[in-house]
A and B are shown apart, each in its own frame.
Chain A
Amino acid sequence: MLTLAEEIVLLTLDDEGGKFLYVPEHSMRYALSGAVLMELAFRGKIDADPDSLFILDTTSTNDGMLDSILKQIAKEEERHDCSYWIQYFGREAYRIQQVALQRLCDAGILRAEDKSFLWVFKSRRYPIRNDLAEKEVKQRIMALLFSDDIPDPRDIAIIGLAESCRLFERMFSRSEYERVRGRIEEIGRLELIGQTISKVVREIEFQLGQATAIGPM
């Protein structure tokens, strides 16, 4: 089974060329940070309520990335809320993304491909080698969004992450998106860590909007 970070990375790749879709940098950062926190929560290592995020179990997850995040939370003496930790681990988003990409390559789902542009600039793409995992994630999401079924926790998480990255606006036509928007919001709210990611992203966007409105001094 893929981790949430691997699933969201997979969803942010263009199906054909393997280029990253445009996702605002802050959205991707906090989605990746939130993905590892939710993964730890699903594995029974941490728990949260509206006031704080706290440790339940510090034993190894047998996953180096998750263990390093868990260790950092465990060593903090003061308790903080979900928002604090989502922003704190936002600084590790690049590492989380690179680990996820490497694992997807190792699993034969992606392949890394270096391309040169104008013989000078190099860019790395990740074309999909095996699209079963990506199709499976998308099918799960679609089935839930167009039904009244009660979602399961992992699906709630991935829907919240995808919405934070504004991926549904790309997956659906404008009218389809308007039709499922309410359902996306309902599902996203069900997970406390997930809904905090959306709040953090919205706050950043609000601040960016304010800064743009004020303009340079």
Chain B
Amino acid sequence: MELRVSKHNAVTIAEVDGRIDGMTAKEFEEKMAEAIPEGGGPMVCDLSHVSYVSSAGLRAILVIAKRFSKDGNFFSVCGHSGPVAEVLRISGFEKIIPMHESRADAVEKAEG
């Protein structure tokens, strides 16, 4: 699992590559926690290059979203498709975390 962090104006974009499962969930949480900018600001987690998310992966995304949103920061997920989108849909993630099909939509919303 790889994580690339970039900035689009004030928005932090964390692009995940690989699988988020029981073997990588802890690493995902640690890397995402490091990517949280000092002083906060909106963050978009881009899952376009994620091929698989398990139950442990879902929990890791929730843990990060909770930690990040605690200080009133905006956190959203984008780019999910195929089996990843299916797992997120089954779990009803869109009711708890804002989700966007494309990164552009997510960034626009985050800049809000």
The answer to whether A150 and B22 have CB atoms under 8 Å apart is: no
Q: Closest CB of chain B to A37's CB: distance in Å?
A: 10
Q: Can you list 16 contacts pairing A with B, beta carbon distance less than 8 Å?
A: A41-B22, A41-B55, A47-B56, A49-B52, A50-B87, A50-B90, A56-B23, A150-B97, A151-B66, A153-B63, A186-B95, A186-B96, A189-B90, A190-B96, A191-B59, A195-B91
Tell me whether B82 is interfacial, beta carbon within 8 Å. no
CB-based closest 7 A-B pairs: A47-B22, A189-B92, A150-B66, A192-B55, A48-B55, A56-B22, A153-B59
Q: Given A47-B21, A150-B96, A153-B62, decide whether A189 and B69 contact each other with a Cβ distance below 8 A.
A: no
- Max chain A CB contacts within 10 Å: which of B54, B55, B65, B87? B55
Contact, CB under 8 Å: B22 / A44: yes
| Cβ of A193 under 8 Å from chain B | yes
B residues near A186, Cβ cutoff 8 Å: 92, 95-96
Complex Cα gap A131–B55 (Å): 32
**Shortest CB distance A145–B (Å):** 13
Name A residues whose Cβ lies closer than 8 Å to a Cβ of B.
Answer: 41-42, 44, 46-50, 56, 149-153, 156, 186-187, 189-193, 195
Partner of B54, one of A47, A150, A187: A47
> A50: which B residues are within 8 A, CB to CB?
86-87, 90
Given A190-B92, A195-B91, A150 and B86 touching (CB < 8 A)?
A: no
Q: Which residues of A contact B58 (CB under 8 A)?
A: 190-192
> If A44-B22, A50-B90, A56-B22 touch, does A191 touch B55 (CB 8 Å cutoff)?
yes
Q: How far is the CA of A176 from the CA of B55 in the complex (A)?
A: 31
- CB B50 to nearest CB in A, in angstroms, measures 13
